[in-house]
Amino acid sequence: MENINTKYQRDVSRNKTVTASRNHEMIDFRKFFILLKKNILWILLFFIISSLSVFIYIRYTNVKFQSYAELKLNKRSEASVFGFNPMSEESSNLNTLSGEVELIRSKLFLKQVIKKLPLDVTYEVIGRFKNEERYKFIPFEVKYEEGCAPKHTKFFVKVIDHQKFKISFNPEEGNWQNGVFNQDFVLAGCNYQLQKTEGFFDGETLSFYINSEESLLDYIGSNLAVAPENLNANTIKMTFADYNIYKVQSIVEAISELYIEYSREQKNKANQLKIEFLNDQLKQTENVLAGYEIFIEEFTIENKTTNPSNDINRLIGEIVKMDSILYGFRFQLNELNKVRGIIHADSIELEQINASLLPDNVYRLFDELIELNTSLQMAKMRYKSNSQIISETQQRKDLLLDRVIQMIDSKITDLKERSTTIIDRKRSLENSFRTLPGKNNELNQKMRFYSLYEELYLSLMQKKTEFEIAQAGTLAEVVILTPANLPKSPIGPSRNILYLGAFAISLVLSFIFIMVRYLIYDEINSLSELERITHLPIIGSISRLKSSIARKSGVIVFERPRSQISEAFRTLRTGLNFMGINEGKNIISISSSTSGEGKTFVAVNLAAILSLSNKRTIILDLDMRKPRAQYAFNVGSNDEGISAILSGGANWQDCVLKTQNENLHFIPSGLIPPNPAELLESGYFDQLLMDLKQKYDVILLDTPPIGLVSDGIIALKKSDHSIFVVRADYSKRSFIKDLHRSIELNGIRNISIVYNAAKKGNNGYGYYQDYYNDNGSKSLSTLKRIFNI
């Protein structure tokens, strides 16, 4: 038996605004999965459409291949080429590699690639679903007249046999022109020739078109990717993607080879420029050295010296020597003057005379003079002053003195002349000495620059020799680490990625679709959702009844007393007992917001279950506009009923109908009146209720929907307890808001809710299940439940 979780009591004074706000913030996962189940066909349709789109795309799209190559750059800084060490590097490895990448991607370089490869004509084999480009294995090559053949115009060629073919611009119009292989033909005013190749084949329709240089540059540039691979290792990776494996390999291979060749040429060009620069520098250096050599030669001729420093030292020595000679001459003159004074003083003594300064003959005369002077003194001592010997000796002395004086004077004169000569010489030397330092500095400066230029000249000659040797054996600064490969597997379109993407897109679309349905879905689909949006007590939940059983059945409680729905109504009866039905509150009205929510179904079965508990029960069909209760009791005639009683045309006792249970009676609605609301507000209705209370324990009022007419509100006000029926997946959330508003406006008390047609869930509510087996296929029922049919 199903254990139904019923809320018997609620705190009616709960803050409704806070509750509603909190409820709107919650996500009802049960509702989400219910919507997911109901829209499973749409979700499957999303997946089918996505998968089919991927299949069609793959079917009509050529696969793409990619070839790559890795190059290593052995470039080094050129800052120290001439032996100068820079303070810092101006470019890093990244800058170097980036420059090489831009070089490879430049149009100037790619033009060389285009010239090297046969890319001017594109050949395609016409297929049933897609065309296949042919690169190497083509049946013929197109030779065309340059400047005349149209660019990007597709030519269609139908190979007939090994000799003949047909060609056309518009094969659909049937304008074919016959041609012969290896022979010229004219088409649209231009000369063409199709030359057969070794890979010739027939029986196929091909097409070709002539590419322009700009289109080829755009084509290669858009499919070529060049990027630094490893900055530390100075490596570059080149990749090229296209639909032909041989084409991508050829293009990458051509780019690698041209880049190596370009690198070698650039290096040779650089060496050649360096050699030319060195030659210019050598010529300039030679001219400068020649100028310095001419200067040195003229300097030597003019100054009669090649080493002014040595001349300065020599002049200094000569000047010192001249000074020494002059000093000697002055000394000799002083001594000779001294001797002359001694001679005049007649006090000649050899001790007073520096004999080294006198000539030998003068010195001998001094000896004679001294002897004569001695003899004269002796004679004066012996003889008289006037004696002849004294006179002769004196005469001889005077003659000798004159002779000595003459010789001394002659010596003095000679010394003076020689001193004058030495002085003049010294002055000449001093004048020469004054000019030599300037000339020496000038010569030293020139010699210093001469030496520097001489060293520079030798260094330039050495560098020139090195560059000439390097040019003779130039190697490229680029090494191919990984040559261009022939791709074995395509890179796209990837089936797995496409299908995975389609699956992801389908999931996203499905989620968006379900979320949109979730946001716009206003039906109440679960008991938990109903509990969240209302503060009214929910006293019962009735399982959903199969439509096949509902059409055949009248009152389920009577016909299927052991069913799950009968148990649900027994639980509802228990809930009403807790609400005080046994305490005299025996007028129960049953209503809903709109028709189709099952209020009549609940009313008749609740009345039936109450009658089974030995309570005298009567049910009044107050829905005089659209009566339904009479069908549950199989009442054929509906002439006498509520409308007749309230209009005063009949007694209620005459209108009471008996049912299969003696405790359950029924008063139908009667004929449809024009003014049901006025009849309910009349005193007859109040009198009817008072009379029924005297005879019956429970009075059930099957009222009209309160959301459509005002009749139901009148009945609810006259009831001791009201039941509002909410049907799963049918009643709107707005109905509950309208109910709350009606309760507040009309002051209705003691109202509770019954949840009808609840689906089977984890809480035990489900489709109607009983002890009886339904006819039909279980697998079919399961399939219907899966697809929510």
Choose the weakest-confidence range: 22-31, 426-435, 575-584, 612-621: 22-31
| Residues 727-743, mean pLDDT to the nearest whole number | 83
The values of phi and psi at residue 264, to 5°, are -65, -45
Q: What is the pLDDT of residue 73?
A: 85
H/E segment holding residue 143: strand 140-144
Q: What is the pLDDT of residue 362?
A: 67
Rounded percentage of the chain residues whose pLDDT exceeds 70: 83
Does residue 3 surpass a pLDDT of 60? Answer: no
Q: Token pair of 498, please?
A: 């496409």
Half-sphere exposure of 98 (CA within 13 A, CB side): 5
| Residues 156-182, mean pLDDT to the nearest whole number | 88
**Average pLDDT taken over every residue of the chain:** 79
| Residues 349-354, mean pLDDT to the nearest whole number | 55
Q: Token pair of 254, please?
A: 């051509």
**Single-letter amino acid code for the residue at 622:** L
Instruction: Give CATH 3.40.50.300 domain extents, the chain.
Output: 527-786
Q: What is the pLDDT of residue 224?
A: 94
What's the CA angle centered on 335, arms 329 and 337, to 5 degrees? 100
Does residue 132 surpass a pLDDT of 50? Answer: yes
Q: Which one has a higher pLDDT value, 114 or 682?
A: 114
Which residues fall within 8 angstroms of residue 486, CB to CB, at 6 or more apart?
67, 245, 246, 249
Q: Express each pLDDT in 306-347 by its tens digit.
A: 667 777 777 788 888 888 888 887 887 887 777 777 766 665
SS3 annotation, 251-290:
HHHHHHHHHHHHHHHHHHHHHHHHHHHHHHHHHHHHHHHH
Question: Would you call 214 helix, strand, or coil by DSSP?
Answer: helix
Q: Name the class of domain 527-786.
A: alpha beta
Does residue 69 surpass a pLDDT of 90? Answer: yes
**Tokens 């005063």, residue?**
648
Choose the weakest-confidence range: 102-106, 290-294, 393-397: 393-397
In which band, very low, low, confident or very high, does the pLDDT at 787 lie, cut at 50, 70 and 90?
Answer: very low
Q: Token pair of 83, please?
A: 């032996």
Instruction: Give CATH 1.10.287 domain extents, the chain.
Output: 308-472
Q: Express each pLDDT in 605-631 by its tens digit.
A: 999 999 988 889 999 988 888 888 888
Q: What is the pLDDT of residue 360?
A: 64
| Residues 650-675, mean pLDDT to the nearest whole number | 88
Q: What is the pLDDT of residue 122?
A: 92
Does residue 598 surpass a pLDDT of 70? Answer: yes
The whole-angstrom distance between residue 37's C-alpha and the CA centroid of its chain comes to 41
| Residues 720-749, mean pLDDT to the nearest whole number | 84
Q: What is the pLDDT of residue 415?
A: 81
Would you tell me which CATH number, out of the four given (1.10.287, 3.30.70, 2.60.40, 3.30.200), belongs to the domain 308-472? 1.10.287
| Residues 107-131, mean pLDDT to the nearest whole number | 88
Does residue 354 surpass a pLDDT of 70? Answer: no
Highest mean pLDDT among 343-352, 358-367, 410-419, 440-449: 410-419
Q: What is the pLDDT of residue 252?
A: 94
Which residues fall within 8 angstroms of residue 61, CB to CB, at 6 or more apart?
130, 493
Q: Express each pLDDT in 435-480 by its tens digit.
A: 767 777 777 777 788 888 888 888 888 888 887 777 665 556 788 8
CB contact at 8 A, 719 and 588? yes
Please give the Cα distance from 656 to 676 (Å, whole number).
19
Q: Which one has a higher pLDDT value, 604 or 473?
A: 604
Does residue 80 surpass a pLDDT of 80? Answer: no
